[in-house]
């Protein structure tokens, strides 16, 4: 190995146990970011839905900005993460979580509280099982990537088309396919995040990797929750 290719101090060697402990700490950090982001989203969504903020945001053109701003942040973080400071990445992640909460506030106005809680636990159980599978399996899930990506593109296109068609049957099909896609992505992304861990990474690189990993898992969880809610959520009407 060429001198300088390893960022560990010369002459130091990490044991497998130390590597495994570092990986566990890294994954725990990813899940902590994700969980904190979900909690922040839920709190903001509840506050917006039960105050005058909902009308203030969605009764004007600001609502469109709130709805599409998270997508812009995701693309920006993906494009600039390598050159971004860890503190900037953290700030963008929290801003993203807040905006997602505002955009998802309709959930509390559309579905009953009982069904929201029920679907949340179904989502958490499904996500947990698939993430555990992605973390522990020895089988490479790389082959799933292209298939899941095509499925994701198909779901997005179908959702856009159905905005104009307003078909209940198509909405049902989109929700079913969406559940399958985001369930698979949970396992795929978990394994990909695990494999991205490099024990010699510096603190700044590790932090940015953890935030991006948390962002991907966050999106999988939220989309899975919304799709399941469309299938099993009880309407207030």
Q: Average the pLDDT over each of 29-43, 126-140, 155-169, 214-228 and give the range with the smallest value.
A: 155-169
* CB distance 88 to 202 below 8 Å: no
Residues contacting residue 114 through CB under 8 Å, at least 6 positions apart: 234
Confidence of residue 179 (pLDDT cuts 50, 70, 90): very high
Range of the domain at 33: 17-232
Residue 2 in domain:
no
Give the helix ranges, DSSP H, for the chain. Answer: 16-49, 53-58, 62-80, 86-103, 106-110, 113-136, 144-165, 168-195, 203-232
Residue 44 in domain:
yes
pLDDT of residue 237: 67
Residue 171 in domain:
yes
Q: Mean pLDDT, to the nearest integer, of 13-24?
A: 76
Q: For residue 10, is pLDDT > 70?
A: no
Residue 177 in domain:
yes
CA–CA distance, 176 with 231 (Å, rounded to integer)? 8
Question: 100-143: per-residue pLDDT in tens?
Answer: 999 999 999 999 999 999 999 999 999 999 999 999 999 999 98
Domain count, the chain: 1
Give the pTM. 0.89
How many CA within 13 A on the CB side of residue 180? Answer: 13
């Amino acid at each position: 190995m060429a001198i300088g290719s390893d960022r560990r101090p010369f002459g130091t060697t990490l044991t497998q146990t130390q590597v495994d402990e570092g990986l566990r700490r890294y994954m725990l950090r990813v899940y902590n970011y994700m969980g904190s982001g979900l909690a922040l989203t839920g709190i903001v969504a509840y506050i917006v839905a039960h105050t005058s903020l909902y009308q203030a945001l969605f009764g004007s053109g600001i609502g469109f900005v709130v709805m599409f701003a998270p997508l812009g942040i995701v693309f920006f973080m993906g494009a600039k993460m390598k050159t971004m400071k860890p503190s900037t990445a953290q700030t963008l992640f929290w801003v993203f979580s807040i905006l997602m909460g505002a955009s998802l506030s309709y959930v509390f106005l559309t579905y009953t509280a009982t069904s929201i809680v029920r679907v949340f636990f179904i989502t958490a159980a499904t996500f947990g099982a698939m993430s555990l599978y992605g973390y522990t399996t020895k089988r490479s899930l790389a082959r799933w990537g292209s298939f899941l990506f095509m499925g994701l593109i198909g779901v997005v296109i179908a959702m856009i088309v159905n905005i104009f068609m307003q078909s209940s049957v198509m909405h049902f099909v989109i929700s079913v396919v969406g559940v399958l896609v985001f369930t698979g992505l949970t396992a795929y992304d978990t394994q990909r995040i695990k494999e991205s861990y490099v024990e010699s990474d510096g603190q700044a690189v590790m932090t940015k990797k953890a935030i991006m990993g948390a962002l991907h898992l966050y999106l999988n969880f939220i989309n899975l929750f919304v799709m399941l809610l469309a299938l099993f959520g009880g309407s207030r009407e």
